[in-house]
Chains A and B, each alone.
Chain A
């Protein structure tokens, strides 16, 4: 399936709360992604787009991915990596950014990125 989905980023003011579902999103950022490309690199995205739960039951509706506002650059890096297989220069030079990316890659099981880091 090659349709485009928009991805909403929930940004939270309180980074200590690990469960952001009760808080309203502080910011929503739509990102157009190709579900097939994401699914190919990450089992998480694969199941997200296909296992029959809310996100995949209505193919055209946007899928939201709530994160801390601090995680936004990391997530964008990860998406970049998934699409291109490489990382932008600033990130590779920044050990903290890399560390964060490693955590995110582990969470979403982007194995190739974990080994890349």
Chain B
């Protein structure tokens, strides 16, 4: 029964289309149009959704979709036309509010219209390739309102003006801004970009250009940067409140370009407040702000780095070349360390530990430290000061820290071999006079040098320590071999057997030792050569020291700590009261320069003048006569006499050291050339120079002229030959 009924219904359904009332479509549309008007008039709550949906459904079902759609367009156009008149007519300040309210209403109404025409949207619209109701509504809004001639200009102008007002410190209705700008976004990215974003960017550029011009005239660098930073945060904040994210980025770019990039040079080079000032006054906050801001623009960090490098080099150069400042080597190095600490701290606390800044700092130091050829010597002297005992009671960790810092300076040195030379001398003095404060600290520094420059660099230094140790054993053996009676009668003779080559030794200038000593020396020599056959033992009298017990005129007893030379001189006075310079020179055979210095320290130093000199004067002349100062007194029992402490070298000594260094370099350069040629067989001149320089870099920077000389010498000795055709090519002969 029911099947039958349905069947009938279906058949009839096909038929009854023809039976529709003639004005069916018109009547139905009127119902819908009325409803749409009611929706626009905020009377939607009286309409039946079901009824309207059904009517629209039926219209589409009965092939009136086209009519429905075009009538809808007409109705919407009519409504928008009225609306645009109304919006255009709003008075000044309420323009945005009105526009926003109309927009909100329009959107709500559009939503309802879309709902009742849902079926059309779903079936008719896709098949007829028309925009769906929602898009249609937005497009029409765009045409009639947002992009209508008058409203578009007014809207853009109002928005930009409000933003400018906010930039100058006024409070604006951010919610309203957000809504209106959101409307532009909803109308499509091109509307937002064309009608708002682009004008905003150019207006902002103009605004910030003007502001930066004004600020840079009247603010110092630090204040200006503070301002720029504040502007950047403001723009970020503004974007987060009512702009698109991309616009925020663009505005930041504008601020970066107009306020920073365009004024970088002027900012950093500003006198009295620029980068140099900040560096000098350790203004970490300002520096770190500058770093942050400049980091945002291209070439920004390079600008900072260049100025910083220039400044470090300039101040460094003054530091190392000022003759006043290089008078005291320890002070000199201390200043370098202080400078290094200062910039380390700046880089770590203000420049985010930037690697490129650290590199710039390093290269600057390398540059200016090597401007002073005496830097290696001074650094060694500084270490000597720190490692010598008795000067200051320093804790071990402190010494370690200082040594680490010194190693940093050492790394900057180009002439590391010069440092080695001086270090060897100073270390020898420390070891031989027993003044090394701590074996551990000495070793630790050598380990550091070893890790820095390799085994070769420190092997001789380590040899010195080995010598010290074996000498102790040798002495034990020697004492054991002597009959005890002898030991008591003869003076104690601690001998240090030093390997030639490991120690910095001057040409042997043997002096005549007092017979007591001489005798013991001979016994030791006999013992030593007895146990180590085939060796040669010579006495380095210029490096030794001695403790003497002396009794003066009124019975004052003192122990004098003197050098070997001084001992030789003083021992002479055991047998005679008065001696002339000539007598002493003859008896001891000490070289004249050394003798003069030694006599000076015995006779002319106040408080330590164990000898009297005639005539009294500061200098030692050949005609002077000497006698024991019987009235000598000192509040100390032990009196240390004129030990020549490690000092800055005098000019001729410096020359001499320099020469020795140059001499030492020759075989190293030659060895490098031979090593290179052995593997390459044939190579041209420039490449050899380059490779030799590279190989020796860790020790010193060889001079190309010297390399050329070495090559010539090797050709002479037939290690190499010139190519017969190309004279610039060398060939290895083996």
Contact = CB atoms under 8 A, between A and B. Distances in A.
Interface of A: 15-16, 18-19, 21, 43-44, 47-48, 51-57, 63-66, 68, 70, 73, 94, 96-97, 99-100, 107, 109
Given A70-B9, A73-B2, A107 B45 contact: no
Interface string B1-35: 01101110110100010011000000010000000
A68 to B, nearest CB: 7
Nearest to A97: B6
Interface hub of B6, B10, B52 (most chain A Cβ within 10 A): B6
Nearest to A47: B115
B552 interface: no
Interface in B53-70: 53-55, 57-58, 62
A16 B12 CA distance: 8
B105 to A, nearest CB: 13
Contact of A21 (B2, B20, B51): B51
Contacts of A109: 118-119, 122
26 contacts: A15-B9, A16-B12, A16-B16, A18-B16, A18-B20, A21-B51, A44-B118, A48-B50, A51-B115, A52-B44, A52-B45, A53-B47, A53-B52, A54-B45, A54-B46, A55-B49, A56-B49, A57-B45, A63-B50, A73-B2, A96-B7, A100-B6, A100-B10, A107-B119, A109-B119, A109-B122
B48 interface: yes
Given A51-B115, A53-B44, A107-B119, A68 B9 contact: yes
Contacts of A65: 50
Contacts of B7: 96
Contacts of B44: 52-53
From A19, A48, A53, name the one whose CB has the most chain B CB atoms within 10 angstroms. A53
A106 to B, nearest CB: 8
B53 A44 contact: yes
B112 interface: yes
Contact of B112 (A43, A51, A64): A51
A100 B119 CA distance: 18
Contacts of B47: 53-54
A54 B48 contact: yes
A16 B17 CA distance: 9
Given A15-B9, A96-B10, A53 B119 contact: no
B111 interface: yes
Given A63-B50, A64-B50, A99 B10 contact: yes
A30 B172 CA distance: 55
Contacts of A47: 49, 115, 118
Contacts of A99: 10
A3 B453 CA distance: 86
B58 A48 contact: no
A70 B73 CA distance: 36
Contact of B48 (A53, A94, A97): A53
A55 B122 contact: no
A18 B51 CA distance: 11
Nearest to B54: A66
B134 to A, nearest CB: 13
Interface in B85-128: 108, 111-112, 115, 118-119, 122
A57 B112 CA distance: 13
A43 B57 CA distance: 14
Contacts of B28: 19
Q: Is the interface of B mostly helix, strand, loop or mixed?
A: helix
Contacts of A94: 3
A115 to B, nearest CB: 15
Contacts of B54: 66
Contacts of B12: 15-16
B118 A55 contact: no
Contacts of B2: 73
B3 A55 contact: no
A51 B111 contact: yes
B58 A18 contact: yes
A65 B16 CA distance: 22
Interface in B661-675: none
A96 B5 CA distance: 10
Q: Which 8 A-B pairs have the closest CB atoms?
A: A57-B45, A53-B49, A47-B115, A16-B16, A54-B48, A51-B115, A53-B47, A70-B9
A64 B54 CA distance: 12
Contact of A96 (B3, B111, B122): B3
Contact of B19 (A16, A66, A70): A16
A65 B50 CA distance: 7
Contacts of B115: 47, 51
Nearest to B47: A53
Contacts of B53: 44, 48
Contacts of B111: 51
A13 to B, nearest CB: 13
A47 B52 CA distance: 12
A94 B2 CA distance: 11
Given A15-B9, A48-B53, A68-B9, 18 more contacts: A16-B16, A16-B19, A18-B58, A19-B28, A21-B51, A47-B115, A52-B108, A53-B45, A53-B47, A53-B48, A54-B45, A55-B50, A56-B49, A65-B50, A70-B9, A73-B2, A96-B7, A96-B10
A19 B2 CA distance: 23
A15 B7 CA distance: 13
A19 B61 CA distance: 13
A53 B6 CA distance: 33
Nearest to B35: A53
A1 B6 CA distance: 36
Nearest to B43: A53
A57 B43 CA distance: 11
A45 B48 CA distance: 13
Contacts of A55: 48-50
A51 B5 CA distance: 36
Contacts of A48: 49-50, 53
Contact of B6 (A19, A51, A96): A96
Contacts of B16: 16, 18
Contacts of A44: 53, 118
A18 B48 CA distance: 17
A53 B112 contact: yes
A56 B47 CA distance: 10
Contacts of B49: 47-48, 51, 53-56
Nearest to A65: B50
A48 B6 CA distance: 28
A51 B383 CA distance: 88
A14 B52 CA distance: 21
A99 B10 CA distance: 10
A89 to B, nearest CB: 15
B650 to A, nearest CB: 101
A65 to B, nearest CB: 6
Nearest to B53: A44
Contacts of B58: 18-19
Contacts of B3: 94, 96-97
